Amino acid sequence: MPIRQLLSLITLFLISISICSAQNLTKQTGSATKKAAPQFDRSVIKEAEDLKKKLIQLNRELYFFEKELLYPTNTQLAVFLSLAPENSLVIDSIEILLDKKIVASYIYKENEISALKKGGIQRVFLGSLSDGAHNLTVKFNGQGANNRYFKREKKIKFTKENDAKYIQMMVSESRTTLEPLFKFKQW
């Protein structure tokens, strides 16, 4: 690039001219380039890795202690969401109502939708529930084929017994109408 070359030439020509203020600043800065780059202590990485492993284990202990305490198996209800692979559905958000009360809501990020489409299952709600008959309502908002927005509400009646209850919501797309399909599976 000629302009760069010209600029360098002018700089070289002018570099011989002494400038007081510049000299002062140079004195202030010292010889920056002469100073050797600091050597990074690699042992910190090893130490961090060991600590991270310990913290994962501790978090695991704490996580299960909390679950045991707050959601014992005989009162536990967990609601899961899964999405069929290879479809055009993009869920924007969901709302979960248990016996007409909102208990959970979630707004999805792009990577989470991608994870769901690759076979990931999200636990959207975990709570404690008394035995007996209950209603679960799930509201879905999202985009389907041809970027068409949809809003659907699906309900299920279920009976909670003296054991943990797992309900999986499975969302897929109709091959013929490309409409979203919703199915509940009780475990």
Partner 1 sequence: MDFFKFFSGVILYLIVATFSSQVLSNTTMPNELYEGMVEFELMSGNNFNALVLMDENYKESHPIKYAAGLKGFHIDGDVSGIIEKAKNSKKDIDWFTIGEIEYDNNECKSSLRAFKKLKNNLTLDEKQKWAFYRANCFIKLGSKKRAAQVLNDILGGVWTSYAYFNLAMAYAETSQNKSTSLVTLRIAESFLKKETREEKALKDRINLAAGSLYLNGNKPDLAVDFFKKVYLDSESAADALYLNGVAYHELGDFRAATQAWFSVKKYPLLKQSVSEAYLAIPFAYEGSKYTSQALEAYLEASSVFKNELNKITKIEKLLEKYGVQKVLIDESEIAGLQWFLAKDVVTNTTRAMYYNYFVKDETIYDLFELHAEVSMTKDSMVFWKTQLSVFEKALREKHKTFNDKVVVFKKKKTKTLISDYRNRVEKLNQHKNMSSSLSSNLGMTAMLDSIATLTSRLVALQGKIKKGGGVLQDQIEQIKGLKKKIGAAEVSIEALLKKLDKELTALVSYKLLELRTSMMTNYEKAEQGLVHILETIAESKQLQKRTLLDGRYK
Q: How far is the CB of 50 from partner 1 (least distance, A)?
A: 8
DSSP string, 85-131: SS---EEEEEEEEETTEEEEEEE--HHHHHHHHTT--EEEEEEE--S
State the nearest-atom distance from the C-beta of 101 to partner 1, in Å.
17
Interatomic CA distance for residues 80 and 96, integer angstroms: 11
Q: Using the minimum distance from each CB to partner 1, give the nearer residue, 52 or 151.
A: 52
What is the nearest approach in angstroms of partner 1 to the Cβ of residue 79? 11
Tell me phi and psi for residue 173, to 5 degrees. -125, 135
CB of 67 to partner 1, least distance (A): 5
Q: Are 85 and 118 in contact (CB under 8 A)?
A: yes
Nearer to partner 1, 93 or 177 (CB): 93
> Which CB sits closer to partner 1, 81 or 140?
81
By beta-carbon proximity to partner 1, the closer residue of 61 and 179 is 61
